[in-house]
Structure 1
């Protein structure tokens, strides 16, 4: 009896030991809305066994003990998911469908930080704009979409195709624009120099509001705008894409874009080609505004390889824009636009009137800009266990020609070629005591050369930037702390630059020092600029739905080339710029505090900022001892750069209502307020209120939108929506009035509306997405204080009492996106 019992016991023991020793493989695919998810962490609860999903959403867990267990799926931007698993056999398939977090507070962001970070954990004010939002606000250019979607962002404009972003009253080289993480370099110093990016190829925009010099060095004093292109993430072996077409009635703009994507094995490929053309835009006061037509072409392609060691992506883009140059010249009585037909002997008061046939043509007139931008870059990540190395290198070439000679239409007035090599190296160290840290080194080498031109506003220069930084962050219960320090060095230099006479046409040209007609326009220059910057901030999560953020940051910006070196006419801006080579770098100290609540029926955020700037550089119109404008080139204004202390402060408030009892309704509201004070004591003592404020400061803005979205399909229409929004701009009576640099701008209110939907077949297949937008429905005649065309006026008085050029009037837009 005992022998039988012993035998049975041994058999049971062997079976048990075998079961204990057996290991199981668990694999599967992680998706969200039928799209595979990358970098989702899958962990066996109660063990140290974990892995991450790959680029196609596939994951593999080896060595799982043979017993029932719980798998936990988690990733930034998605709700964590627990799956109970009953192990059977040697291999088990467990797929997981993840749900996106409802609040944008949890989106993944890359800009301004060095690792994937939740918005709620970042103390730096950051906003994210999705492609869906940009599509629903049909726009003429990408910056216009950002202005509509992010409080605190404005733009200086020169017609509908040129928008330069401003963040909280600071712009030009103080706002760093990135394309897929690569800093955009394309003669940003000019008023009429826009952003050379294909708006149809951007799927996401991330905006840092505040100094981001810690990560990027000079030129991120005000913040960063990162424009992220599309990268495919669908099943392997399929070709997908879209065809987008857009029409705008006001200026007849026609835009078309086709994008394709393909995934094979570990490779992802993208390709896009875009074309846009428009005639002159119209408003109620000026009619069709001569000189505002444009034609734009874009081409881009990329290839990305994903492996267990990381990834490597190589991309190339090409941008080509023909854009007319408005000058605002008119007949003094009829106020009809006139055009320049002579170089020598040109008289603004006796120019011929532009014919009606020339106002509505898509043909680009002889006085125009031709901008070309080439970009080639590689971004790679190499994983080393719990650390990774990120490398970004890229080359860019910006070619800008401005044709302003009607009797010599093939002769460029401005012709500059800017070549830039960018490098960016970041090493994310292994976590130590809960601290995530990054070491970085980045910068650029830049060469600018003038070609066969007649105007030379800036010299031929060489520039070399290098900076190193350390960044760290740590979570301690409800508190997240992050900060770092950076040091920068910029070298800029140029040789003597001589300008003489071209005997063939009588215009100026670049000559050697030995040319008898030559004069020294830019004496040689060599200088190093140094900057120390950093930040420290924390986020206190009072609860899952209520948090407080605070951040203090020091930014640095070296003077740009036009601020220190300019001495000549920029034909496209109709301005003669005069720089100052004694300028010091700008440094700012900005404090931010934010309160954010994510409630059941509303998202509420309040952001306050205070920004003190040392050595602030700004433009001021130049006058003589009698107070009269200095005219160096007839028909063009003259501006001289100034430097002083400055202070900017303000707030942004957002209240977005989405009642759970009325899921179809959303009511979004935002307010942005900025005050810019000039703290130049000498000017203030001499001129008082005329010099009290800084130029280019936006007025108080309030935006409100009410939107209704059907929660169920209505025939072929899937979740159609209808919305109406209002944008209120207060009077801007706080402006830089000294020497008539700026003038009072009356407030205005614009009412806009839109409808749209996805069209699907009965089987659920998407036919297309359609969007219909009406901007400035009531055709209000208005001038934005940041519209440069407001100051294009040659007469002190006009018959209709209006001065300068007005913004675009009513505009109906229609956009269709057809999946391929």
Structure 2
């Protein structure tokens, strides 16, 4: 009898466990399939995203009544009641309405847990994959620069862009990959961000100090590049093929992405290759030594459970990038090739660059080789209503610069940077409407020189750790958030000696006891400390009208070049001289913003004022007679300076999208920043030449008219046309001391584009097409943030033009084929 009862209970339990239902359907917009829309059952763990055909399916649901919530960026969230039974799948088809408002979009950067954009008082902008795809670019940073006012980039040709936010860059802008800080020798001028542009699903940009969450190096802001996390139907291989071509520099880009989902497991893989020959403009013709070859592999494994999720991601990046130096024939202005070493190298007698060199996809012997490897884990564990998040990662950056024409296999610079990232944070359950979070994070880093001939920085060890507390609460119509953080960074290096290398007649690292040993870097040890914090509020005047204000204290410890450099960086053609007595930078920034997302338009105004103590910047070094100091022939010398500084300005965007004319949009933005050097003694001594800070962009105005055709036209759907005016005013407020910078004339570029999705009769997409023309009228211009502007060997030229100009007209074509 007892056995029979147990058997009945067991069978009953199995029957109850087996009584599960499912929900399936299709999400559309104007009867067109909507991919990547999210469908969840409110208050449960059940949810999924739609595939390329807009279809979705949620399995293993306990029967009952639920509230299904469907959302997608750029659309109005829909909530529908649905009943689930165990007899047959419930069918729910949803047609979302488009919306221009981004106020309800969820962000993850700079916050303790996922937060609606509307409630975050810190200025933050989101760039979606759709927006990234529609701006065809040479790299991911250029896409962000085009899409977000207030973000600019210092460039060295088309593939090298280092982000600046509101006039601050290098180590002040913290670049993240999936929330893990990117470490790749950020101090260098002549290489970009080692990230695959085709594998990014969205970018979140914080404008202003974000030291509270991330510690040192987030003084100017944060750019978080978030990779694509696969979703879709179980047991089905999904993916895409991307092909990209640019006619100016012949760029050919190809990328294959694959994803697979089975039960709780998700897998993804992407392989990307890009290559380009020299870019051209109508002043310089082909710009010698600006071609590149880039290859990236990435893979992901992720598991989602009731307790949370855990994911592993690995990436490898390999880039060979030529190093331009700007040498030319003095009369014809044709580029020349270095074939001898100093002191046998005569700039005036170098041979001309051949057409084979100028038009080849091959990389010349004088180039840099950048490799970056990354492996990390992110885990989120649900502890009741609280969340425990951990991140642990390792990355290695290997950087070689080959600058010896007589020994092309000998690297001038060869450094290996190893970094261990760690992050632990806990968000307790919400208590009385108060959200809190606290944690600790940082890095451990080692940098080592290998078989090189130039040593601009010493070998060093760095340990960085910081703890923070964050809180957020809503009181009536006001969202209040803020917190505090304490950081400490310890950096040390030993005596570093160099001497002659008899094998190649260059220098090498040697022991202190060698006969000709020269101490290049005396030993150093120092610990930097910093307290940062922020406090802000968002006042919801109405559902679509917000007022935001925030005040933040930022902190940044000096980087390795600022305190330790003493040598030639061959790729930059600059000898850097640091100062080991520098103090950390501290900033106090006030932000005020007004955001209005109205029926027919949206308006956003952001004002900022940033006061920085101990601001560190580069200045070209001249002697007492006003002549440039030359330590290494053919290279300039820069010495780091430190003073008080102030940056202030505004960003304005006004987008018109009348509901009565759904096919028309008129988008406008303006960015303005002024950087003032507050070293009064130096300004007086230099007769005002040092009044302004270096690397400050001029006023930037962008206006775009976009036509979005409604309905289908045979195979073509979602057709859009756009034309854009991209205008930069003259920059006459520049750091003129010792001719570190010069005035830059204004210019206006006209860009245009057209795009469409090709679909089958069934509604299944065939591919997405993007055709774009940048600098349509082939304007000859130099950006004030273009480093090549200063690559000039002569005081005068026959055509009156000095330095190298930016890229000319570029026609580009991109195809994305999903499967």
For normalisation by structure 2, the TM-score amounts to 0.93
Q: 1:207 to 1:36 in 2, by over 3 A?
A: closer
The answer for the alignment partner of 2:682 in structure 1 is 683
Answering whether residue 393 of structure 2 is matched by residue 394 of structure 1, we say yes
Cα distance between partner residues in 1 of 2:562 and 2:465: 21
Could you tell me how far 1:189 is from its partner in structure 2? 0.3
Could you tell me how far 1:231 is from its partner in structure 2? 1.0
Cα distance between partner residues in 2 of 1:814 and 1:547: 39
Tell me which of 120, 135, 143 is aligned to 2:133.
Answer: 135
Could you tell me how far 1:570 is from its partner in structure 2? 0.2
Cα distance between partner residues in 2 of 1:617 and 1:490: 18
Q: Which runs of structure 2 are paired with 1:105-116 in the superposition (5 Å)?
A: 105-116=103-114
Cα deviations by residue, 1:489-547 (Å, 9 ceiling, x for unpaired): 00000000000110011100000111112100000000000010010000000000111
The answer for the alignment partner of 2:54 in structure 1 is none
Cα distance between partner residues in 2 of 1:494 and 1:298: 33
Could you tell me how far 1:28 is from its partner in structure 2? 3.4
Answering whether residue 801 of structure 2 is matched by residue 812 of structure 1, we say no
Answering whether residue 299 of structure 2 is matched by residue 304 of structure 1, we say no
Q: Which runs of structure 2 are paired with 1:124-523 in the superposition (5 Å)?
A: 124-344=122-342, 345-523=344-522
Could you tell me how far 1:488 is from its partner in structure 2? 0.3
Cα distance between partner residues in 2 of 1:212 and 1:475: 21
Query: Is the Cα contact below 8 Å between 1:76 and 1:118 reproduced in 2?
Result: no
Cα distance between partner residues in 2 of 1:113 and 1:394: 20
Cα distance between partner residues in 1 of 2:388 and 2:157: 43
Query: Is the Cα contact below 8 Å between 2:23 and 2:84 reproduced in 1?
Result: no
Structure of greater Rg? 1
The answer for the alignment partner of 1:58 in structure 2 is 58
Query: Is the Cα contact below 8 Å between 2:622 and 2:628 reproduced in 1?
Result: yes
Could you tell me how far 1:58 is from its partner in structure 2? 3.3
Cα deviations by residue, 1:308-355 (Å, 9 ceiling, x for unpaired): 111110010000000000000011111111110001401111111111
Cα distance between partner residues in 1 of 2:76 and 2:797: 62
The answer for the alignment partner of 1:16 in structure 2 is none
Cα distance between partner residues in 1 of 2:545 and 2:330: 60
The answer for the alignment partner of 2:607 in structure 1 is 608
Tell me which of 57, 67, 73 is aligned to 1:71.
Answer: 67
Cα distance between partner residues in 2 of 1:801 and 1:789: 16
For normalisation by structure 1, the TM-score amounts to 0.93
The answer for the alignment partner of 1:578 in structure 2 is 577
The answer for the alignment partner of 1:7 in structure 2 is none
The answer for the alignment partner of 1:47 in structure 2 is none
Cα distance between partner residues in 1 of 2:201 and 2:83: 40
Cα distance between partner residues in 2 of 1:432 and 1:569: 56
Q: Which runs of structure 2 are paired with 1:647-796 in the superposition (5 Å)?
A: 647-796=646-795
Cα distance between partner residues in 2 of 1:691 and 1:731: 18
**Local SS of the residue matching 2:712:** coil
**Local SS of the residue matching 1:661:** coil
Could you tell me how far 1:25 is from its partner in structure 2? 7.9
Cα distance between partner residues in 2 of 1:775 and 1:300: 30
The alignment covers a number of residue pairs equal to 786
Query: Is the Cα contact below 8 Å between 2:327 and 2:792 reproduced in 1?
Result: yes
Query: Is the Cα contact below 8 Å between 2:41 and 2:47 reproduced in 1?
Result: no
Query: Is the Cα contact below 8 Å between 1:664 and 1:708 reproduced in 2?
Result: yes
Cα deviations by residue, 1:421-449 (Å, 9 ceiling, x for unpaired): 00011111110110111111100000000
Query: Is the Cα contact below 8 Å between 1:405 and 1:412 reproduced in 2?
Result: yes
Cα distance between partner residues in 2 of 1:543 and 1:60: 40
Q: 1:233 to 1:84 in 2, by over 3 A?
A: closer
The answer for the alignment partner of 2:5 in structure 1 is none
Cα distance between partner residues in 2 of 1:575 and 1:106: 47
Cα distance between partner residues in 2 of 1:316 and 1:157: 28
Tell me which of 23, 28, 31 is aligned to 1:28.
Answer: 23
Could you tell me how far 1:51 is from its partner in structure 2? 2.1
Q: 1:430 to 1:332 in 2, by over 3 A?
A: same
Cα distance between partner residues in 1 of 2:110 and 2:767: 35
Could you tell me how far 1:686 is from its partner in structure 2? 1.1
The answer for the alignment partner of 1:642 in structure 2 is 641
Query: Is the Cα contact below 8 Å between 1:278 and 1:295 reproduced in 2?
Result: yes
**Local SS of the residue matching 2:682:** helix
Cα distance between partner residues in 1 of 2:816 and 2:77: 33
Cα distance between partner residues in 2 of 1:32 and 1:441: 41
Could you tell me how far 1:93 is from its partner in structure 2? 4.0
Cα distance between partner residues in 1 of 2:714 and 2:133: 22
Cα distance between partner residues in 2 of 1:92 and 1:774: 49
Query: Is the Cα contact below 8 Å between 2:37 and 2:72 reproduced in 1?
Result: no
Query: Is the Cα contact below 8 Å between 1:30 and 1:37 reproduced in 2?
Result: no
The answer for the alignment partner of 1:567 in structure 2 is 566
Query: Is the Cα contact below 8 Å between 1:39 and 1:52 reproduced in 2?
Result: no
CA RMSD of aligned residues (A): 1.9
Could you tell me how far 1:627 is from its partner in structure 2? 1.2
Cα distance between partner residues in 2 of 1:133 and 1:63: 40
Could you tell me how far 1:465 is from its partner in structure 2? 0.4
Query: Is the Cα contact below 8 Å between 1:172 and 1:188 reproduced in 2?
Result: yes
Q: 1:221 to 1:798 in 2, by over 3 A?
A: same
Could you tell me how far 1:87 is from its partner in structure 2? 8.8
Query: Is the Cα contact below 8 Å between 1:483 and 1:536 reproduced in 2?
Result: yes
Query: Is the Cα contact below 8 Å between 2:40 and 2:70 reproduced in 1?
Result: yes
The answer for the alignment partner of 1:8 in structure 2 is none
Query: Is the Cα contact below 8 Å between 1:189 and 1:562 reproduced in 2?
Result: yes
